[in-house]
Chains A and B, each alone.
Chain A
Amino acid sequence: MSLDAATVRRIARLSRIRIDDSQTLQMQAELNGILAMIETLSEVDVTGVQPLAGGADMALSLRPDVVTDGGQAEAVLSNAPDRDGPFYAVPKVVE
């Protein structure tokens, strides 16, 4: 499978990364190079194989329902590029 420029733009949009036209071309070539390498997987017979999602073969451990966190609005907001009082601020969203 090979990506066309429109698909590259669509992926960039989905990824929320702005790319201009010259970057699109270069990106397209690079991504297609990587995809060609990835394509070798189609050789593998995976019939009946259960997919493996993670590196750990344990079951999920759960935590007790206790409030142990929060109450630190200042710390949570301390790195914010824009804030207003106790809120994060972003450009106005029109719904």
Chain B
Amino acid sequence: MAYTLEGSTGTWEIVCGLEVHAQVISRSKLFSGASAAYGAEPNSQVSFVDAAFPGMLPVPNAECVAQAVRTGLGLNAQINLWSRFDRKNYFYADLPQGYQISQFEHPIVGTGVVEVTLADGSVKQIGVTRLHLEQDAGKSLHDQDPTRSFIDLNRSGVALMEIVSEPDIRSPEEAGAYLTKLRQILRYLGTCDGNMDEGSMRADVNVSVRKAGEGFRTRCEVKNVNSIRFVMMAVEAEAKRQIALWEDGGEVVQETRLFDPTRNETRSMRSKEDAHDYRYFPDPDLLPLVLDPDWVAQLKATLPELPDAKTARFMRDYGLSPYDARILVMEQASADFYERLATGRDAKQAANWMMGDFYAGLNRTGRSIETSPISADGLGELLDLIADSTINGRIAKEVLEAMIDTGERASVIVDQKGLRQVTDTGAIDAAVDKVLAANADKVAQYKAGAEKLFGFFVGQVMKAMAGKGNPALVNEALKAKLS
């Protein structure tokens, strides 16, 4: 069902497109040999190229180009074998050259597509218009001094991929799903770490609203939103602002806005009169970027398996539901964990244990799959103990908790705590006899037809056996004695 917003004059639809800036994973910057690492001392990762000293020239980083191509391939996009760097000219304190080297007319990657699955299970294709390489700017610090701003150029020249979507997004949920999926693909590809806290991924959100059947109305661009949740909030807040404006008889003017998450509203950025005359032209320091088709083919051949393909394979090979498969594939690390766990074991049971008690345990201790105290093999050992009837499922939950808390192996915990399951029918019969004798009234009720008391007897027997009775044998013995 389509997402809409109700206004006083009727029903409105959201039209949204995202421009995502994703920092390329590379050791050095796009056009200089300075480090691209995050968090260094101010101005310690700056070459004279990054600081735009006289006579300095850009030389592109081959790995950044490869990363852009990999990303394009991962987005099923067209790879442009001929592309070009252009200059986008504007003055700003953290833009040392007075221009940003970007790709305006001829981007390295053309149209592609991202497929998202929404909460109701429906699938939607969001078009990708283009992906291009460009330099990041430096950083201005405005709160260090009463009269001055400070400039740190460590980020200046770090490689970014700008990934522009078509205006195909129709709801905050779709915006969130697109960004989540894009982030997931980039992380799988190893082309961007997707770390939004460190600014490795930021989104410019273009929003307009319209009534059913209309063409596009004027859009506004909400700049530099730095979390998926904030993007979803910004889409809604900006759409509501525009609806109110239109319905008030006003007019939306195309402008750049900022999202304020604490007030859940967007506000106009101080308008700059020359903001839109960037005087793009081909960078005369850089010749056209020409890619060898064989090289592109080689990159394609070595691409990792991507989330959609993996999800499909998990459903096919492990008999998982689409939902379970998607959850497990969410991160490369969890998918790898699952595959190792499921191999040679009951795949469905492996998925249940992993997404159930294992994830709950990680959650409880504030850990993730990467920092888990239990490896896939460790969890597998626990499942093996269930499979060979060393322990029963109930005991296994207890063992898993202990494993998460102590990091100890399952078999060691079972032995230490004496949790091996009892399969001695003599001991089981004795426990059953004791329970039935102590509950003669309930036995009478059961025999009179209160069959649901069977579970009560099972529980009592297990309790009597400290949980270690083999459930199947306990059932068997009870049935025999009650008949």
Closest residue of chain A to B26, judged by CB? Answer: A65
Contact call B149/A89, Cβ cutoff below 8 A: yes
Contact call B270/A95, Cβ cutoff below 8 A: yes
- The interface of chain A, by Cβ under 8 A from chain B, is 13-14, 16, 53-54, 56, 58-73, 75-77, 82, 84-95
Given A73-B43, A76-B43, answer yes or no on A66-B274 (Cβ-Cβ < 8 Å).
Answer: no
Contact call B149/A70, Cβ cutoff below 8 A: no
A89 to B144 alpha-carbon distance, docked (Å): 10
- A to B CB contacts below 8 Å, 22 in the list: A13-B273, A14-B277, A16-B91, A53-B84, A58-B287, A60-B290, A66-B28, A67-B27, A67-B34, A73-B41, A73-B44, A73-B46, A84-B144, A84-B150, A87-B42, A87-B141, A88-B93, A88-B150, A89-B151, A90-B148, A90-B151, A93-B140
B63: CB under 8 A from chain A? yes
Closest residue of chain A to B40, judged by CB? Answer: A70
A60 to B146 alpha-carbon distance, docked (Å): 46
1/0 contact string of B272-312 vs chain A (CB within 8 Å): 01100101001010111110000000000000000000000
**Which B residues lie within 8 Å of A13 (CB)?**
273-274
> Which 6 pairs show the lowest CB-CB distances between chains A and B?
A68-B33, A65-B63, A70-B34, A87-B150, A69-B33, A62-B62
B152: CB under 8 A from chain A? yes
B226: CB under 8 A from chain A? no
**Which A residues lie within 8 Å of B146 (CB)?**
92
Within the complex, what minimum Cβ distance (angstroms) separates B367 from chain A?
A: 32
Contact call B149/A92, Cβ cutoff below 8 A: yes
Within the complex, what minimum Cβ distance (angstroms) separates A57 from chain B?
A: 8
Closest residue of chain B to A94, judged by CB? Answer: B270
**Cross-interface CB contact of A77 among B43, B93, B279, cutoff 8 Å:** B43
Closest residue of chain B to A85, judged by CB? Answer: B42
Contact call B61/A70, Cβ cutoff below 8 A: no
**Which A residues lie within 8 Å of B33 (CB)?**
63, 66-70
**Which A residues lie within 8 Å of B142 (CB)?**
92-95
**Which B residues lie within 8 Å of A88 (CB)?**
43, 93, 150-151, 153
Given A64-B62, A84-B148, A92-B145, answer yes or no on A69-B270 (Cβ-Cβ < 8 Å).
Answer: no
Q: Which of B44, B49, B270 has the most CB of A within 10 A?
A: B44
Within the complex, what minimum Cβ distance (angstroms) separates B478 from chain A?
A: 69
B165: CB under 8 A from chain A? no
**Which A residues lie within 8 Å of B43 (CB)?**
73, 76-77, 86-88
B18: CB under 8 A from chain A? no
Query: What class of interface size applies to chain B in its complex with A?
Result: 35 or more
Contact call B62/A60, Cβ cutoff below 8 A: no
- The interface of chain B, by Cβ under 8 A from chain A, is 26-28, 32-35, 41-49, 51, 59-65, 84, 91, 93, 140-142, 144-153, 269-270, 273-274, 277, 279, 282, 284, 286-290
Contact call A76/B148, Cβ cutoff below 8 A: no
**Which B residues lie within 8 Å of A14 (CB)?**
274, 277, 279
A5 to B61 alpha-carbon distance, docked (Å): 44
Within the complex, what minimum Cβ distance (angstroms) separates A19 from chain B?
A: 16
Closest residue of chain A to B63, judged by CB? Answer: A65
Within the complex, what minimum Cβ distance (angstroms) separates A58 from chain B?
A: 6
**Which A residues lie within 8 Å of B270 (CB)?**
94-95
Given A65-B61, A77-B43, answer yes or no on A92-B148 (Cβ-Cβ < 8 Å).
Answer: yes
**Which A residues lie within 8 Å of B28 (CB)?**
65-69
Given A89-B150, A93-B140, A94-B270, answer yes or no on A59-B290 (Cβ-Cβ < 8 Å).
Answer: yes
Within the complex, what minimum Cβ distance (angstroms) separates B155 from chain A?
A: 12
**Which A residues lie within 8 Å of B273 (CB)?**
13
A92 to B141 alpha-carbon distance, docked (Å): 9
Closest residue of chain B to A82, judged by CB? Answer: B148
Closest residue of chain B to A15, judged by CB? Answer: B91
A88 to B42 alpha-carbon distance, docked (Å): 10
Q: Which of A54, A60, A85 has the most CB of B within 10 A?
A: A60
Closest residue of chain B to A58, judged by CB? Answer: B287
Contact call A90/B274, Cβ cutoff below 8 A: no
Given A14-B274, A14-B277, answer yes or no on A71-B150 (Cβ-Cβ < 8 Å).
Answer: no
**Cross-interface CB contact of B35 among A60, A64, A67, A85, cutoff 8 Å:** A67
**Which B residues lie within 8 Å of A66 (CB)?**
27-28, 33
Given contacts A60-B287, A76-B153, A88-B43, 5 further A-B contacts (CB under 8 A): A59-B290, A60-B60, A62-B61, A64-B63, A92-B142
**Which A residues lie within 8 Å of B47 (CB)?**
69-70
Contact call B93/A93, Cβ cutoff below 8 A: yes
Q: Which of A56, A66, A71 has the most CB of B within 10 A?
A: A71
